[in-house]
């Protein structure tokens, strides 16, 4: 079975459909792998073996009767610990919510279950999802696939680590400023942030509801597309025949390409060359609206995050890791009038951005400007933690603030991704383009 755990979720689904593997055996293999992994406690906050086995048995019976509900019926995946699961603790990586027990599944989990996916358990994450580094000394810091002592990326750190280490076929996370795409990039995965509100966040512990999204971390674009469909309870986009030939790509210069570390810069340029060789046309331009929008990220994010969690934090501040708590507390300093004005200005900037990129199939740039720092160095230096966190999230945050759908793909260079962004509502078209790009990249 171990060779099957190395396959993508879609490949596993096809193997189930062909009668080559029983969902029960597959699920038992994943549960056994989790139990025996030296990283299990750092990746899973808790597993749900009873639920997984019951769902696998039902999937196996449907397969035998020819009544499978989707390609992924019977495929085991993991869920970030801020996505509610009925009767199972959902604590969002924080001691503030210790023992929190939701009565029902989040809508996305309910949809996925109806499509036959098997729930393996809940994966570790950054406290309340408010850090891009994935470091969490309160609960656990999952291991990066390249070095267990390096930061995994966050906040969907366990979702990335479980998938990269073969302890789930894919993971479901949330993305408010990059929390799906950043850990996906640092662990050489595909990470997809759909358009805001394309997937329900009902039953997902909020961070900043105006930005919060849910999305998959997976081994392929095909997996991301099929998981997106499962989370919606809809049909998957058709990726067949996708081609880069004639695709118009805009390389977003200035902000997204500034202060790049050497490896991400080199990987991105090599990836662009590969896309052009496959028939894409790349142009380069700066869009001033992006820089102005990013300058407002502090007030827009911290105000809402503190407004949502301030009372709980102030009641027990010592329960939180100080550098993360301080990010929330920064929201105290902003007035309501400034917050409203910033949101109104962001709307205008997003419209300017949309007009500037309307003629392109995608806007592209390096997924993350940096590579993973050592976890111990971040824990030893709060100032470095803050600066590395801000820089790591800079590029991914563009997608959230400009109201885009966005996907990161591996470039072939470890922990370096290339990000494709499209205007709101073009999720299925973006996934087709990403499938073509995936085939063109190393």
Distance CA 6, CA 128 (A): 30
| Same-domain pairing of 357 and 420 | yes
| Same-domain pairing of 102 and 189 | yes
| Same-domain pairing of 145 and 257 | no
Of 185, 207, 232, the last residue of a domain is 232
- Counted domains in the chain: 2
| Structural domain contains residue 79 | yes
| Same-domain pairing of 152 and 262 | no
φ, ψ for residue 427, nearest 5 deg: -60, -45
| Same-domain pairing of 165 and 292 | no
For the chain, 442 residues long, give each residue's pLDDT as a single digit of tens: 556 778 999 999 999 999 999 999 999 999 999 999 999 999 999 999 999 999 999 999 999 999 999 999 999 999 999 999 999 999 999 999 999 999 999 999 999 999 999 999 999 999 999 999 999 999 999 999 999 999 999 999 999 999 999 999 999 999 999 999 999 999 999 999 999 999 999 999 999 999 999 999 999 999 999 999 999 999 999 999 999 999 999 999 989 999 999 999 999 999 999 999 999 999 999 999 999 999 999 999 999 999 999 999 999 999 999 999 999 999 999 999 999 999 999 999 999 999 999 999 999 999 999 999 999 999 999 999 999 999 999 999 999 999 999 999 999 999 999 999 999 999 999 999 999 999 999 9
Q: Which residues are catalytic?
A: 80, 155, 179
| Same-domain pairing of 280 and 376 | yes
Of 183, 199, 232, the last residue of a domain is 232
Instruction: Please report the DSSP string for 346-410 in residue order.
Output: HHHHHHHHHHHHTT-SEEEEES-SS-PPBHHHHHH-HHHHHHHHHHHHHHHHHHHHTT-EEEEEE
| Same-domain pairing of 258 and 170 | no
| Structural domain contains residue 239 | no
Neighbouring C-beta atoms of residue 193, cutoff 10 Å: 32
| Structural domain contains residue 228 | yes
| Structural domain contains residue 183 | yes
| Structural domain contains residue 306 | no
| Same-domain pairing of 197 and 341 | no
**Residue 164's domain spans which residues?**
2-232
Q: Which pTM value belongs to this model?
A: 0.98
Strand 171-175 versus strand 213-218 pairing type = antiparallel
| Structural domain contains residue 308 | no
| Same-domain pairing of 256 and 356 | yes
155 upstream amide cis, omega within 30 of 0:
yes
| Same-domain pairing of 284 and 151 | no
Residues making up the chain, counted from first to last: 442
| Same-domain pairing of 152 and 216 | yes
| Same-domain pairing of 19 and 139 | yes
| Structural domain contains residue 102 | yes
Q: Is 344 exposed, middle or buried (0-12, 13-18, 19+ CB in 10 A)?
A: exposed
Encoded tokens for 311:
């009372």
**Which pLDDT value is given to residue 254?**
86
CATH code for the domain of 380:
3.90.1300.10
């Amino acid at each position: 079975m171990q060779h099957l755990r190395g396959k993508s979720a879609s490949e596993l689904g096809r193997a189930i459909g062909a009668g080559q593997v029983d969902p029960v055996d597959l699920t038992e293999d994943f549960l056994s792998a989790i139990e025996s992994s030296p990283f299990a406690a750092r990746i899973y906050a808790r597993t749900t073996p009873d639920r997984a086995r019951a769902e696998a048995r039902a999937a196996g019976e449907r397969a035998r009767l020819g009544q499978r509900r989707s390609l992924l019926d019977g495929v085991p995946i993991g869920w970030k610990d801020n996505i509610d699961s009925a009767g199972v603790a959902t604590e969002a990586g924080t001691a503030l919510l210790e023992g929190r027990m939701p009565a029902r599944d989040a809508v996305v989990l309910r949809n996925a279950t109806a499509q036959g996916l098997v729930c393996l358990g809940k994966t570790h994450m950054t406290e309340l999802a408010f850090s891009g580094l994935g470091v969490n000394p309160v609960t656990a810091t999952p291991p990066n696939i390249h070095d267990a002592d390096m930061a995994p990326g966050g906040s969907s750190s366990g979702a990335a680590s479980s998938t990269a280490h073969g302890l789930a076929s894919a993971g479901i996370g949330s993305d408010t400023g990059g929390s799906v795409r950043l850990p996906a990039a640092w662990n050489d995965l595909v990470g997809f942030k759909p358009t805001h509100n394309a997937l329900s966040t009902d039953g997902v512990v909020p961070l900043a509801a105006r930005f919060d999204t849910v999305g998959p971390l997976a081994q392929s674009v095909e997996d991301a597309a099929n998981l997106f469909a499962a989370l919606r309870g809809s049909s998957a986009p058709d990726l067949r025949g996708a081609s880069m030939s004639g695709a118009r790509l805009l390389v977003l210069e200035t902000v997204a390409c500034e202060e790049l570390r050497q490896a991400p810069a080199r990987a991105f340029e090599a990836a662009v060359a590969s896309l052009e060789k496959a028939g894409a046309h790349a142009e380069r331009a700066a869009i001033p609206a992006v820089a102005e929008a990013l300058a407002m990220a502090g007030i827009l994010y911290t105000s809402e995050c503190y407004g949502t969690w301030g009372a709980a934090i102030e009641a027990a501040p010592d329960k939180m890791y100080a550098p993360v708590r301080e990010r929330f507390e920064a929201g105290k300093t902003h007035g309501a009038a400034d917050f409203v004005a910033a949101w109104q200005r962001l709307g205008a900037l997003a419209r300017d951005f949309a007009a500037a990129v309307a003629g392109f199939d995608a806007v592209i740039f390096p997924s993350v400007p940096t590579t993973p720092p050592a976890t111990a160095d971040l824990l030893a230096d709060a100032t470095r933690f803050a600066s590395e966190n801000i820089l790591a999230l800079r590029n991914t945050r563009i997608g959230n603030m400009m109201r885009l759908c966005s996907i990161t793909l591996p470039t072939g260079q470890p922990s370096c991704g290339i990000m494709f962004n499209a205007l709101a509502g073009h999720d299925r078209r973006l996934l087709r383009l990403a499938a073509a790009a995936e085939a063109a990249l190393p």
